[in-house]
Amino acid sequence: MTAPVRLQHGRAPLGITEVTLTPGSYLGDLQDLNASATLPHAIGKLDESGVIANLASPGGEAHRGFGFSDSDLYKTLEAVGWEIARTGTTAFDGFLDSSYRLLRAAQQPDGYLNSWGLSADSPGRWVDLQWGHELYSAGHLIQAAVALNRAGRGELMAIARPVADLIVRRFAHEGTCGHPEIETALVELYRETGEPGYLTSAKGFVERRGNPVQHTKPFGPAYFQDHAPVRDAEDATGHAVRQLYLDAGCVDVAVETGDADLLAAVQRRWDSAHRRRMFITGGMGSHFQDESFGDDHELASERSYAETCAAIADLHLSWRLLLATGEARYGQAMERVLYNAIPAAVSEDGTSFTYANPLQVRTGGRVVEYNSGRQPWFSCACCPPNVARLRASLAAYLAFADDEGLAIALPAAATLELPPQVGTGRVVITGDLEAGSLTVTPEADFLPGMGLRIRVPEWATSPQVDGAPAPVENGWLSLDTAARSTVTLDVTPTAMVADARVDAVRGSVAVQAGPTVLCAEAHDNREVDALAIDPNRPLTGDPTGATGSGAVLATGEALYRRFGEPAGDPEATPVTLIPYREWGRRGRVAMRVWLPTVDL
Amino acid sequence: MTAPVRLQHGRAPLGITEVTLTPGSYLGDLQDLNASATLPHAIGKLDESGVIANLASPGGEAHRGFGFSDSDLYKTLEAVGWEIARTGTTAFDGFLDSSYRLLRAAQQPDGYLNSWGLSADSPGRWVDLQWGHELYSAGHLIQAAVALNRAGRGELMAIARPVADLIVRRFAHEGTCGHPEIETALVELYRETGEPGYLTSAKGFVERRGNPVQHTKPFGPAYFQDHAPVRDAEDATGHAVRQLYLDAGCVDVAVETGDADLLAAVQRRWDSAHRRRMFITGGMGSHFQDESFGDDHELASERSYAETCAAIADLHLSWRLLLATGEARYGQAMERVLYNAIPAAVSEDGTSFTYANPLQVRTGGRVVEYNSGRQPWFSCACCPPNVARLRASLAAYLAFADDEGLAIALPAAATLELPPQVGTGRVVITGDLEAGSLTVTPEADFLPGMGLRIRVPEWATSPQVDGAPAPVENGWLSLDTAARSTVTLDVTPTAMVADARVDAVRGSVAVQAGPTVLCAEAHDNREVDALAIDPNRPLTGDPTGATGSGAVLATGEALYRRFGEPAGDPEATPVTLIPYREWGRRGRVAMRVWLPTVDL
């Protein structure tokens, strides 16, 4: 199967060639916009930002940008790989050929390939493992090579394997990278080649974590998840993307080596992240300073960082856990980021991107580069090509096959070709989550004992099948493999509150409709900084937008006043809400997901 | 008068030799602990941290610590100066002599004196004005020299003036420092010497701000207050200490040059800071990342930075504005930081210090260097010696004289010698703010037309004089110059709420008793992370501690749930509160200033 995560052991994802997202559907549009706009845009930016020049003269003129700039190219190549796998396009052949030439010329006789490591800016090869990102960049090269190989383009494997082989030799007994990524990459290369040395190497990188002698400046070992062995670390902590990438690698190693202990450790940290450290949009990482997870329940909207790459990483991790365990909650997490945190990161035209994804923007709020709304590129350009590789492979995150049959993890309009272990033919899904209606039509012969099931979102309180209450079991609903079923879900806008320990949004609600978190923007509402909503009055609308009854809260001269001394009366006003993922499209103005409650 | 701010034009502060803080009183204890513990501790740390070694071999071995490490010595010398002025002690003479020898040996023939600027680590003298802090360090040298000179020790002036003269020449037409400090220092040197060139130079440094070509990495010009001219900048923004130091310099220049426009600009920014960007403790600076002011009303307890130096800087600024305008609100701000943010920074034994001053610490919260509670020193050691110089000069912030007579800005137990322009004799104050009772006894002959007034805090709702309602006018209360008066203030614990736009503490109250903000610690309360208080039930206690009725809020498995679905019932529990400034004395545990409200 042509998929980013192809487990040797565990549930088998349906790949890009097995799943066709329906054009014009929500997920289909995300994928198509990526192909038509984001991918060409990213390729153009590689040149402009110096990525190509760095590789064209490694060790020559000064290295431009961050040490990991090569990875911008690799992520883009990976996206191209999935795009070729999906459509068979030859539009990128020129880009591929010039990239291969560039990389072949830059590669050293022993396989080493990293424009920063070869430049005068670095202290030498493999010296600054903490900040140099050489293993991280190599990981993305490997991922790109695997993607292209799965699309029938093997040329990059001939470049990536010597890199991987060098790493396997060089890091046989010691060393970890300051930024995880090599771990998942080596496991995937093992899956692609069957070469057990790659899996062993990945396991080494994972198991060597927790040596706090390394990785101490300036943020301390927890930033790098080097404060404790991966089996012992309790919480999702430190730099959010690093933590989530590392845990994805841990799942890969655990699944392929049958390591239940390691898998349980990751599940524990996943709980830490999702039950105590996640914004309602699925965003992760509360702190600007070190792009890190905050403390438990430290989830301030006003300085929510929620890096785009962390949302993508969360989808990678949750998908792996879903394949490893079959538990619906992991699919729920994927749904959350796919309808909120991830799409919020990309503009309507597909060519500008967020880095941080705040849940609140105040009137006159200060703008700095990484919270400046959607930008065409960033000096640290990790997010845009990461979006591109995810969206190009989106179809491969929809469904999987296991001993029970076919499971639809992300209900969406698509056509699924049955893998041979389940049966022959296909399953056609129409409708979508936001419409609250999905019709699943099997046009297939299921093998005996093979069933068809669909994940029912947690927000759907009274799901129905063909008008009758649906017997949901552990988040899954069994469907007839021989007849069409229509699943109905209530997508009425609903006010949500947070755990009492989330101080930042106390006395406030966020409105969610189906999978979609809504927000209030100054384009549609006045006085957004003091805007309140009455959650006891009905909300009308659906995931595309909603209205409610609200008020502008009174404010006074004093910043602090005695309890019981009112600043004035709230002034009634309607509240108009749009999907969070669409914030800032009409210009960056005051916005908030969480609205104070008021009784009208 | 021996005072840190001795205006040529404006109200005249009573100096250290005119004001004696009563031993055993609140402010007296702060000062005495500083003399007996903090100052000797700081002197010891200068050696240990490399400050002395840097100056002993400038340009020799590698420079240790930050480029501004010399300023640690200068702030300590300034503190010694005020201590000598206050007590005439000779205990520091050895330290002074060795410091003078060190500095004389390090000083270059043209006056230049900066161990970092002379070291191989710097790009050369005056090259990296943005991060090198050479002018900042020189400013602290000048402040130390002025303090010692006012204490009758002129030796350091002979070292500092060549530095100042060099700066006046070198920066006659261009240049600003990345960290303000030179501005106030040069004005004070002008006041001390009468040399107008220093004032002109200070004015140049102030007026040259707002050139965004400079000061751009990594945080952008607003971090350095270089985004707009000082007359135009609307808000308190960027690095909090830098903003407040700069504005103190602006007031000094404005007052000495009669520049009402510049003064008005500072008052506008003071309002921005105090009405929209200040924690209830007086702490300032919402962001860890750049130690900066947040947006309006962005005041999250959970990541409040509130650097110790910013609270000290706020006192410096508010005092200058009080002297410039006579407006009581500036004294109120001083009181707020002197009872809360500043004393919280120092341990009971005077030898450990906070850097950040959070309003909330969660159970199991992550600890990093600058929010690790009180530490003996920091790698960036700006705060401890800054505390020392402030506390050594504390007496000089109590009262001032003007055309109307003597004004007591900070009511506290002390003896005030009348300056000749007001009369002869003294005024004795007993009692203190926290006791809610102050007895003011004039033992003096006031000149005709000269009165005596005392600032009445804003929290005192029904102040009385000798049992009768006190006629407070614009925050001031006139007292009899010939007879004893007793002022009574209600210090009952009171629940306070914040402006509706302060999202972080919505649905919560902070308890304040008199000048003192209280907090709940896990030492005295269970489940502090979910602890709530009923503000409608009586609070008992006073500024030294209080109790109230509260509850532990119910929490569930889910991080987010539907509005109206309770997580469970709150469980009634008493709430015990201690002064915020005493948090962490029994160990760093969960703590919070703001408590959710609950109806019991």
Nearest to A276 among B220, B296, B559 (CB): B559
CA of B332, closest CA in chain A: separation in Å?
A: 13
Who's near A256: CB < 8 A, 6+ residues apart?
A7, A8, A9, A187, A190, A191, A199
C-alpha dist (Å) from residue B322 to B179, B254, B333: 24, 13, 10
Q: Output b/e per residue, B180-190; b: 16+ Cβ within 10 A.
A: bbbbbbbbbbb
B interface test, pick of A237, A270, A303, A555 with most B CB neighbours within 10 Å? A303
CA of A131, closest CA in chain B: separation in Å?
A: 18
Q: How do residues A458-503 score in pLDDT, each as one tens digit? A: 999 999 999 999 999 999 999 999 999 999 999 999 999 999 999 9
- pLDDT of the residue at A557: 85
Are the C-beta atoms of residues A317 and A4 closer than 8 Å to each other? no
CA of B298, closest CA in chain A: separation in Å?
A: 7
| Encoded amino acid at B549, one letter | S
| Bond before B123 cis per omega within 30 degrees | no
Nearest to A297 among B300, B504, B529 (CB): B529
| DSSP 8-state class, residue A312 | H
Nearest to B561 among A497, A557, A564 (CB): A497
- pLDDT of the residue at B527: 95
Contact A496 B288 (CB under 8 A): no
Contact A297 B504 (CB under 8 A): no
B interface test, pick of A279, A305, A503 with most B CB neighbours within 10 Å? A503
Mean pLDDT of A399-403: 96
- In chain A, the N- to C-terminal Cα span, in Å, equals 56
| Encoded amino acid at A386, one letter | N
Contact B500 A567 (CB under 8 A): yes
Residues of B in contact with A509 (CB under 8 A): 563
C-alpha dist (Å) from residue A555 to A561, A566, A569, B178: 11, 9, 9, 36
Are the C-beta atoms of residues B55 and B461 closer than 8 Å to each other? no
Are the C-beta atoms of residues A367 and B299 closer than 8 Å to each other? no
Contact A508 B506 (CB under 8 A): yes
CA of A410, closest CA in chain B: separation in Å?
A: 21
- pLDDT of the residue at A215: 64
Question: Which residue on chain A is closest to B495 by alpha carbon?
Answer: A563
Chain B 364-403, residues with CB within 8 Å of chain A CB atoms: 364-366, 368
Are the C-beta atoms of residues B452 and B405 closer than 8 Å to each other? yes
Residues of A in contact with B378 (CB under 8 A): none
Residues of B in contact with A494 (CB under 8 A): 562-563
Contact B296 A219 (CB under 8 A): no
Q: What is the DSSP string of B543-575?
A: TTEEEEEEEEPP--S-SEEETT------EEEEE
Q: Which two tokens stand for residue A598?
A: 């008021």
- pLDDT of the residue at A382: 87
Q: Is the pLDDT of residue A386 over 80?
A: yes
Nearest 5°: the CA angle A316, A485, A24 is: 55
Q: How far apart are CA B57 and CA B118, in angstroms?
A: 9
B interface test, pick of A272, A506, A529, A589 with most B CB neighbours within 10 Å? A506
| CA-closest candidate to residue B357, choices B271, B241, B247 | B241
A587, HSE (Cβ side, Cα atoms, 13 Å): 5
- pLDDT of the residue at B111: 97
Digit-by-digit pLDDT tens for chain B (600 residues) are: 688 887 776 799 999 999 999 999 999 999 999 999 999 999 999 999 999 999 998 877 688 999 999 999 999 999 999 999 999 999 999 999 999 999 999 999 999 999 999 998 899 999 999 999 999 999 999 999 999 999 999 999 999 999 999 999 999 999 999 999 999 999 999 999 999 999 999 999 999 999 765 666 778 899 999 999 999 999 999 999 999 999 999 999 999 999 999 999 999 999 999 999 999 999 999 999 899 999 999 999 988 999 999 999 999 999 999 999 999 999 999 999 999 999 999 999 999 999 999 999 999 888 877 888 899 998 888 899 999 999 999 999 999 999 999 999 999 999 999 999 999 999 999 999 999 999 999 999 999 999 999 999 999 999 999 999 999 999 999 999 999 999 999 999 999 999 999 999 999 999 999 999 999 999 999 999 999 999 999 999 999 999 999 999 999 889 999 999 989 999 999 999 999 999 999 999 999 999 999 987
Residue scoring higher pLDDT (B368 or A126) = A126
Q: How do residues A196-212 score in pLDDT, each as one tens digit? A: 999 999 999 999 999 76
Contact B296 A503 (CB under 8 A): no
Contact B554 A500 (CB under 8 A): yes
Q: How far apart are CA A526 and CA A510, in angstroms?
A: 18
Nearest to B298 among A297, A302, A564 (CB): A302
Nearest to B362 among A298, A508, A596 (CB): A298
CA of B258, closest CA in chain A: separation in Å?
A: 29
Instruction: Check if A567 contacts B (Cβ < 8 Å).
Output: yes
Which helix (H) or strand (E) segment is B19 a member of?
Answer: strand B19-21
Provide the residue count of chain A: 600
Burial label, A486 (beta-carbon count in 10 A; 0-12, 13-18, 19+): middle
| CA-closest candidate to residue B282, choices B370, B342, B345 | B342
Query: Does the domain made of A400-488 have the CATH classification 1.10.10?
Result: no
By 3-state DSSP, what share of chain B in percent is helix, strand and coil, each rounded to 5? 35, 20, 45
Contact A497 B562 (CB under 8 A): yes
Residues of B in contact with A289 (CB under 8 A): 287-289
C-alpha dist (Å) from residue B493 to A136, A364, B411, B470, B574: 56, 36, 19, 21, 15
Are the C-beta atoms of residues A145 and A133 closer than 8 Å to each other? no
Question: Which residue on chain B is closest to A558 by alpha carbon?
Answer: B275
Instruction: Indicate where chain B has its CATH 1.50.10 domain(s).
Output: 12-397
Q: How far apart are CA A63 and CA A115, in angstroms?
A: 7
- pLDDT of the residue at B600: 77
Q: How far apart are CA A275 and CA A101, in angstroms?
A: 47
Mean pLDDT of chain A: 95
Who's near B57: CB < 8 A, 6+ residues apart?
none
Residues of A in contact with B498 (CB under 8 A): 559-560
Burial label, A261 (beta-carbon count in 10 A; 0-12, 13-18, 19+): exposed
Given 2.60.40, 2.60.420, 3.30.70, 2.40.50, which CATH number is that of B403-488?
2.60.420
Are the C-beta atoms of residues A83 and A75 closer than 8 Å to each other? no
Interface A-B: count of C-beta contacts within 8 A: 185
Question: Which residue on chain B is closest to A503 by alpha carbon?
Answer: B504
Instruction: Indicate where chain A has its CATH 2.60.420 domain(s).
Output: 400-488
Which helix (H) or strand (E) segment is A478 a member of?
Answer: strand A476-479
Contact A303 B286 (CB under 8 A): yes
Burial label, B87 (beta-carbon count in 10 A; 0-12, 13-18, 19+): middle
| Encoded amino acid at B72, one letter | D
Q: Which two tokens stand for residue A55?
A: 């590789």
CA of A253, closest CA in chain B: separation in Å?
A: 28
CA of B497, closest CA in chain A: separation in Å?
A: 5
**Residue for token pair 């805090």:** B457
Are the C-beta atoms of residues A391 and A30 closer than 8 Å to each other? yes
- pLDDT of the residue at B364: 87
Are the C-beta atoms of residues A172 and A201 closer than 8 Å to each other? yes
Chain A 396-455, residues with CB within 8 Å of chain B CB atoms: none
CA of B60, closest CA in chain A: separation in Å?
A: 25
Torsion of CA A315, A317, A322, A328, to 10 degrees: -50
| DSSP 8-state class, residue B347 | -
Q: How far apart are CA A523 and CA B338, in angstroms?
A: 43
Residues of B in contact with A504 (CB under 8 A): 300, 302, 503-504
A283, HSE (Cβ side, Cα atoms, 13 Å): 35
Who's near B104: CB < 8 A, 6+ residues apart?
B159
- pLDDT of the residue at B214: 60
Chain A 245-304, residues with CB within 8 Å of chain B CB atoms: 274-276, 278, 280, 286-289, 294-298, 300-303
Q: How far apart are CA A441 and CA A482, in angstroms?
A: 8
Nearest to A555 among B278, B500, B558 (CB): B500
| Bond before A471 cis per omega within 30 degrees | no
Residues of A in contact with B556 (CB under 8 A): 499
Q: Output b/e per residue, A5-14; b: 16+ Cβ within 10 A.
A: bbbeebbbbb
Which helix (H) or strand (E) segment is A216 a member of?
Answer: none
Contact B287 A286 (CB under 8 A): no
| Encoded amino acid at A277, one letter | R
| CA-closest candidate to residue B521, choices B443, B461, B590 | B590
Residues of A in contact with B507 (CB under 8 A): 506-507
Residues of A in contact with B594 (CB under 8 A): 503
Residues of B in contact with A499 (CB under 8 A): 555-556, 558-561, 567
Are the C-beta atoms of residues B117 and B166 closer than 8 Å to each other? no
Q: What ipTM is given for this predicted complex?
A: 0.94
- pLDDT of the residue at A1: 67
Burial label, A447 (beta-carbon count in 10 A; 0-12, 13-18, 19+): middle
Q: How do residues A225-258 score in pLDDT, each as one tens digit? A: 999 999 999 999 999 999 999 999 999 999 999 9
| Encoded amino acid at A257, one letter | T
Residues of B in contact with A507 (CB under 8 A): 506-507
Contact B275 A559 (CB under 8 A): yes
The confidence band for A214, taking pLDDT boundaries of 50, 70 and 90, is low
A188, HSE (Cβ side, Cα atoms, 13 Å): 31
- pLDDT of the residue at A366: 82
Q: Return the number of other C-beta atoms located less than 10 Å from residue B484's C-beta.
A: 14
Instruction: Check if A360 contacts B (Cβ < 8 Å).
Output: yes
Q: How do residues A408-449 score in pLDDT, each as one tens digit? A: 999 999 999 999 999 999 999 999 999 999 999 999 999 999
CA of A445, closest CA in chain B: separation in Å?
A: 40
Q: How far apart are CA A341 and CA A280, in angstroms?
A: 9
Q: How far apart are CA B573 and CA A385, in angstroms?
A: 53
The confidence band for A303, taking pLDDT boundaries of 50, 70 and 90, is confident
Question: Which residue on chain A is closest to B295 by alpha carbon?
Answer: A365
Contact A296 B555 (CB under 8 A): no
Q: What is the CATH number of domain A12-397?
A: 1.50.10
